[in-house]
Amino acid sequence: MTEAMTNAHKSAGEAVLDIRDLRVSFATAVGTVQAVRGVDVSVAKGETVAIVGESGSGKSQTMMAAMGLLAANGKAEGEALYRGANILGLPTAKLNRIRGAKITMIFQEPMTSLDPLYTIERQLIEPMVEHGGIGRARAKARALELLKLVNIPQPERKLRSFPHELSGGQRQRVMIAMALANDPDVLIADEPTTALDVTTQAQILALIADLQKRLGMAVVFITHDLGIVRQIADRVYVMKDGQVVEQGEAARILTEPKHPYTRMLLDAEPEGRKAPVTGESPILLEGQKVSVAFDLDSGLLKAPIVLKAVDDVSLAVRQGQTLGIVGESGSGKSTLGRALLQLLPHQGRVFFSGNDISNKDRGAMRPLRRQMQLVFQDPYGSLSPRMTVGQIVTEGLLVHEPGLSAAERDRRACAVLEEVSLDPALRNRYPHEFSGGQRQRIAIARTMVLKPKLVVLDEPTSALDRTIQKQIVELLRKLQADHGLTYLFISHDLAVVRALADWVMVMQHGRIVEAGPTPVIFESPVQDYTRELIAAAANNLSG
Amino acid sequence: MARYILGRLLSAIPTLFLIVTISFFLIRIAPGGPFDLERPLEAKVMENLARIYQLDKPLWQQYLLYLKSLASGDFGPSFYFRDFTINELFAEGLPISIQLGSSALVLALIVGGAMGVLAALRQNRPADYSIMAAATIGVTIPNFVVAPLLTLLLGVWLGWLPVGGWNNGAARNMILPIVTLALPQIAVVARLTRGSMIEALRSNHVRTARAYGLSGYSVVVVHALRGALLPVVSYLGPAAAALLTGSVVVETIFGIPGIGRYFVQGALNRDYTLVMGTVVVVAVFVIVFNLIVDLVYALLDPRVRYD
């Protein structure tokens, strides 16, 4: 270590965690992949530092490496100083005295980060007994205290619950409780709100900020969401391709970004608004009092418990219109989309181009399927991994235009891939060779090849980074303009809905809370729930 | 829970009925009969035998008679072992087969499980490769090769263990047959455990356990292994049913009076009642062990509930 570096370290002596020249590489079948290339990150007592970047930027791996949590094929070099002592590469037994006690972590996936086989109490107690040297009885009392601290309703009962009995937001609160159990110096939060609904996101963020103020620990917040940075961070590191491209005070980075990548991130909000269609445009899809009920827990002798996933919803969509259906998970928005497409049995009536299609069987629906298509949220799970992109895109043609020659199908595959801005030369490759955004383009191409009238888009941008989202929004807008498409756009992401929809419907518990033209809903919402949703998403919208 | 078990047992009755019906007619369609010898018996003798064993009645009547006696727990007389009923044969042989099979099962679970966990923890390192190589060998070498080799080595050359015989279940006599029975099972259990363990070690909740500085035992056994055992348990159900009902090869080579040999003998001799008896016993074991697997699932995983 050079003298200059030592001095620099002394001047920044208050740093609790100081990562220096960290490099992370993974040995893969195709050779060594450099995930992190010499990163310096430090955080002082009581400070909140955000590490921002898109997926693959190495932001998570930086902290995973520091905590000794890299996958088996990962290798870390450099230094991670906790109170001046390097913890990188410590033997597990020594490292275990620090992680879980002095430095704790919460993860992106609240649904899977807790062990499904043990009660909340048992999982909360484990690290306390391991590190604190306190007995089970005291640990139990502390566990209850912690659940109260993180505002979990019915904390006594929740202690005896298993993770699957809790909602995503509650599980993340349990994780936070676990992180605080041993009074840590540093809390590392790896995208802790990404998998949660907007209103829950806001609550979790407020909780972390509040606990930090009261307990005075340092927080490292890993996120792709600049709205969160604005809300809670003191300092920001912007990462791209395994390197820090810009760092500084949060206020300065957000207002005067220097690096072009930071500027691009800040500029990544979907833009533009959809022009409303006129009243003369014919109604393409109409639903009258549509309800979908699921029987839960039906037994031979007891009356089934009925869950009304969609409850008496009526709607009408005109040709060329985009209806945004907004709501949090469990609000019934996806179920409604599926019922309208006759993919789920429902009550009430549905008309497509003026014809009653309510509960038509598969055979009767088949000729209509071509005109009504569906794009899913998960671009990784919805494309068959064993088919080439060309096969995936043209599979629908085999059903709807069986007479086409192979050469003609191939020609159409090229045309449609070009239309979604993918190189047709790539049509012989398999889905795993494409990025998330490219896969979503493939999924869109698969529907467009059939020249549909109506496309139901079920959270098509939710799994994508903001910059990619923006591109997909632009693609969808262009396709709509070129082909006069009608969209049913289902999303919890208000920013995207605002950019794409000319009519918005807000759903909660299977019912319509409020509906109206997009500008009206966003600028002067009438219902409390709509206001709450918009307020919670405000950080994203003002970006 | 009790209601669930009762329901499952009741639903086993139609299953058993189907199995019994299909096997009854299948074995009767097969050419030849229990009294066909190289030198045919006199017509008069055949007639008498047929009358005694009720083979002279129309097939559907025989079928109903068999169902009736089966319902009262009577498997009927053996056609081949002239002085024995099937119940007597099973009462003698089944406990022996169960004793051998269950010992082999426990051995397979412990040794195979430990090997699988070790291989998973040392994934793609020498320990992993050697365990998996041993497991592959264990699966590929048939037991009629393993048994004589073990006998030759431990029984003949070293003289440590008896080469065969049951000797009223003396421990020394049981070691070789148990090991022979267990070897392929150890291999399968090791492979299964390794696979599910590797997946479990990569799961998010095990990452949480590591991130919270829990001890190696807690990470590996408490948080990874319990979940990783689920696929092993699913395999062990049917495997247990097969093991406990005996093995033809092992019982023949080591001269053990279990019921495994009846599978082949019954079929070759057209001993109708013996074939039917073994079919019913195996079917009952399979049904019972599948039920046990489902109950163990509920025990291991709180998300599985049967009430």
Tell me: do B63 and B133 sit in the same domain: no
Residue A486 covered by a domain: yes
Query: Which residues, 6+ apart, have CB-to-CB distance to A283 below 8 Å?
Result: A316, A317, A318, A319, A351, A354
| Residues B202 and B262 occupy one common structural domain | yes
Neighboring chain A residues of B124 at a CB cutoff of 8 Å: 72
Query: What residues contact residue A259 under an 8 Å CB cut-off, 6+ apart?
Result: A238, A245, A246
Q: Verify whether the Cβ–Cβ distance B204 to A109 is below 8 Å.
A: yes
Same domain, B53 and B156: no
Stretch A26-32: mean pLDDT: 84
- In A328-487, which ranges are continuous DSSP H helix? 333-340, 362-369, 389-400, 406-419, 436-448, 466-483
**Residue A302 pLDDT class (50, 70, 90 cuts):** low
In a domain, A145, yes or no: yes
pLDDT in tens, A435-468: 888 899 999 999 999 999 999 999 888 878 888 8
**Partner-chain residue, chosen from B202, B212, B303, that has the shortest CB–CB distance to A116:** B303
Task: Give the SS3 label for residue B239.
Answer: helix
Q: What's the pLDDT at A211?
A: 87
Integer Cα distance of A200 and A9 in angstroms: 39
Chain A CB contacts of B204 below 8 Å: 107, 109, 112-113
Say yes or no: B47 and B95 in one domain. Answer: no
Q: Do residue B221 and residue B140 come from a single domain?
A: yes
Cα distance between residue B85 and residue B186, in whole Å = 36
- Do residues A482 and A366 both lie within one domain? yes
Contact between A100 and B211 using a beta-carbon 8 Å cutoff: yes
Q: Do A101 and B302 touch (CB under 8 A)?
A: no
CA nearest neighbour of A77 among A67, A85, A68, A88: A88
Provide the CB-side half-sphere exposure for A40 (13 A, CA): 10
d(Cα B173, Cα A233) in Å, to the nearest integer?
A: 73
Nearest CB neighbour to A115, from listed B211, B215, B223? B223
State the nearest Cα–Cα gap between B35 and chain A, in angstroms. Answer: 51
Across chain B, where does the E strand assignment appear?
none
- Report pLDDT for B3: 86
C-alpha angle A50/A52/A54, rounded to 5°?
155
**Does B245 reside within a domain?**
yes
Q: Which domain holds residue B38?
A: 2-71
Count chain A–chain B contacts defined by CB atoms under 8 A: 79
One-letter amino acid of A82 = Y
> Residues 6 or more apart from A115 whose CB is under 8 A from it?
A123, A163, B205, B206, B208, B209, B223, B227
Q: Which pairs with CB-CB distance under 8 Å and at least 24 residues apart come from A533-539?
A: A533/A198, A533/A199, A533/A326, A533/A328, A533/A494, A533/A506, A534/A494, A535/A202, A536/A198, A536/A199, A536/A201, A536/A202, A537/A198, A537/A493, A537/A494, A537/A495, A539/A225, A539/A227, A539/A228, A539/A230, A539/A231
Same domain, B123 and B166: yes
Q: Under an 8 A CB cutoff, do A96 and B215 touch?
A: yes
The alpha carbon of A98 is separated from its chain's Cα centroid by a whole number of angstroms, namely 30
Indicate the SS3 state at residue A249.
Answer: strand
Q: Is B222 part of a structural domain of the chain?
A: yes
- Residues B113 and B248 occupy one common structural domain: yes
Which of the given ranges, A223-227, A414-418, B4-8, B243-247, has the highest pLDDT on average? A414-418
Residues of A in contact with B300 (CB under 8 A): 117
Mean pLDDT of the residues in chain A: 87
SS (H, E, C) A279-332: CCCCEEEEEEEEEEEEEECCCCCCCCEEEEEEEEEEEEEECCCEEEEECCCCCC
Encode pLDDT of A50-85 as tens digits: 999 888 888 999 999 999 998 888 899 999 999 989
Do B68 and B46 contact (CB within 8 A), yes or no? no
Q: How confident is the model at residue A2 (pLDDT cuts 50, 70, 90)?
A: very low
Are β-strands A454-458 and A372-375 bridged in parallel, bridged antiparallel, or unpaired? parallel
CA angle B74–B75–B77, rounded 5-degree value: 105
Query: Residues A388-404: what's their mean pLDDT?
Result: 91
Cβ contacts of B199 within 8 Å, gap of 6 or more: B228
Distance separating alpha carbons of residues A314 and A310, to the nearest angstrom? 10
Q: Is residue A440 part of a domain?
A: no
A297 pLDDT band, cuts 50/70/90, is low
> B37 and B146: one domain?
no
Q: Is the pTM of this model over 0.90?
A: no
Q: What is the pLDDT of residue A4?
A: 42
Maximal CA-CA distance, chain B: 85
DSSP string, A160-225: TS-GGGS-HHHHHHHHHHHHHTT--SEEEEESTTTTS-HHHHHHHHHHHHHHHHHH--EEEEEES-
Alpha helices, H only, B157-271 = 171-202, 204-211, 216-217, 226-244, 248-254, 260-268
Side-chain half-sphere CA neighbours of A113 within 13 A: 28
* Partner-chain contact B218 A126, CB within 8 Å: yes
Domain count, chain A: 2
Q: What are phi and psi of B142, to 5 degrees?
A: -70, 155
Please indicate, yes or no, whether residues A360 and A488 belong to a single structural domain of this protein.
yes
Under 8 Å between Cβ of A394 and A412: yes
A262 within some domain: no
Nearest chain A Cα distance for residue B219, angstroms: 11
The answer to whether B255 and B165 are in contact (CB under 8 A) is yes
Q: Is A42 a member of any domain?
A: no
Question: Cβ contacts of residue B2 below 8 Å, gap of 6+?
Answer: none
User: Which of A285, A345, A351 minimizes the C-alpha distance to A309?
Assistant: A345
Task: Assess whether B188 and B159 both reside in one domain.
Answer: yes
What ipTM was reported for this prediction?
0.80
Q: Which residue of A has its CA nearest to B123?
A: A72
Q: Chain B closest CA to A226's CA: distance in Å?
A: 26
Q: Is residue B79 part of a domain?
A: no
User: What is the DSSP-derived secondary structure letter of residue A502?
Assistant: S
Contacts of residue A72 in chain B, CB cutoff 8 Å?
A: 123-124
- B144 in the same domain as B36: no
CA angle A39, A40, A41 (to 5 degrees): 115
The answer to whether residue B81 is domain-embedded is no
B124 falls within a domain: yes
**Sequence-distant (≥ 6) Cβ neighbours of residue A436 within 8 angstroms:** A55, A379, A380, A463, A464, A465, A468
What pLDDT was estimated at residue A436?
A: 84
Domain assignment present for residue B305? The answer is no
CA-nearest of B180, B179, B174, B117 to B145 is: B180
| Closest alpha carbon within chain A to B305 | A297
Asked which of A129, A150, A181 is the last residue of a domain, the reply is A181
Interface residues on A facing B, Cβ-Cβ cutoff 8 A: 67-69, 71-72, 92, 95-101, 104-105, 107, 109, 112-118, 126-127, 130-131, 162, 164, 175, 178
CA distance to partner chain B, nearest, from residue A108 (Å): 10
How far apart CA A333 and CA A51 sit, in angstroms, is: 33
What is the rounded CA–CA span in Å between residue B112 and residue B134? 11
Q: Which of A164, A181, A198 is the endpoint of a domain?
A: A181
- The residues of chain B scoring below 70 in pLDDT are 307
| Interface test mutation site (partner A, options B207, B212, B225, max chain A beta carbons within 10 A) | B212
Domain boundary residue, one of A181, A212, A241: A181
In a domain, B76, yes or no: no
Q: What would the two tokens of residue B195 be?
A: 């696979």
Q: Is A306 contained in some domain?
A: yes
pLDDT at B105: 94
Higher pLDDT, A304 or B140: B140
A234 occurs within a structural domain: no
Note whether B17 and B128 are same-domain residues. no
Range of the domain at A120: 110-181
Give mean pLDDT, residues A115-137: 91
Those residues with Cβ within 8 angstroms of residue A89's Cβ, 6 or more apart along the chain or in another chain = A76
CB contact under 8 Å between A130 and B213, yes or no, is yes
pLDDT digits (tens, 9 = 90+) for A460-499: 888 788 888 888 999 999 999 999 999 999 998 888 899 9
pLDDT digit string, tens, across residues B66-107: 999 998 989 888 888 888 899 999 998 999 999 999 999 999
Do both A279 and A167 map to the same domain? no
Question: Do B111 and B254 reside in the same domain of the chain?
Answer: yes
What is the per-residue pLDDT for A8?
A: 39
Tell me, yes or no, whether B80 lies in a domain: no
Radius of gyration of chain B (CA): 24
Question: Which of A117, A124, A188 is the best mutation test for B, with the most CBs of B within 10 A?
Answer: A117
Q: What is the mean pLDDT of chain B?
A: 89
Rounded to a whole number of angstroms, the distance from the CA of B92 to the nearest CA of chain A is: 43
What pLDDT is attached to residue A539? 56
- Number of domains composing chain B: 2
pLDDT of residue A543: 37
Q: Is residue A542 scored above 50 in pLDDT? A: no
Q: Which residue has the tokens 């990569």?
A: B202
In a domain, A123, yes or no: yes
